[in-house]
Amino acid sequence: KNEVEQSPQNLTAQEGEFITINCSYSVGISALHWLQQHPGGGIVSLFMLSSGKKKHGRLIATINIQEKHSSLHITASHPRDSAVYICAVRSGVRGGADGLTFGKGTHLIIQP
């Protein structure tokens, strides 16, 4: 069973700061997902990656397969980025049909 650890659990920062959220997992994976959950509860997929780096707007996700580690960065953070960020991995068993294993999430608050 894959163990997914996120750090920090909670993060409060000022608007404009560069934010980094980390994710480590214990077993080799086929893909890693970063998700965002807003206070209203809805979950949105931000990135899915299996190697290297992806960028979308102010968000950047990187993964190091050898070190079993991924980071999510937010540049020029804004109060609307306040949310819970969740890392999840897919191990590849049964062709990936068997769902994701999730970290417990990082609760991010960006203060104006």
Partner 1 sequence: DAGITQSPRHKVTETGTPVTLRCHQTENHRYMYWYRQDPGHGLRLIHYSYGVKDTDKGEVSDGYSVSRSKTEDFLLTLESATSSQTSVYFCAISEGQGLYNEQFFGPGTRLTVL
Site for partner 1, rule CB under 8 A: 1, 30-31, 33, 35, 41-45, 48, 50, 86, 88, 90, 92, 94-105
Residue 43 identity (one-letter amino acid): I
Taken in order 75, 53, 92, 45, the sign of the CA dihedral is: positive
Q: Which is nearer to partner 1, 42 or 112 (CB)?
A: 42
- Do 32 and 88 form a contact (C-beta atoms < 8 A)? yes
Report the nearest approach of partner 1 to the CB of residue 81 (Å). 19
Taken in order 84, 73, 76, 9, the sign of the CA dihedral is: positive
Report the nearest approach of partner 1 to the CB of residue 37 (Å). 9
Report the nearest approach of partner 1 to the CB of residue 69 (Å). 18
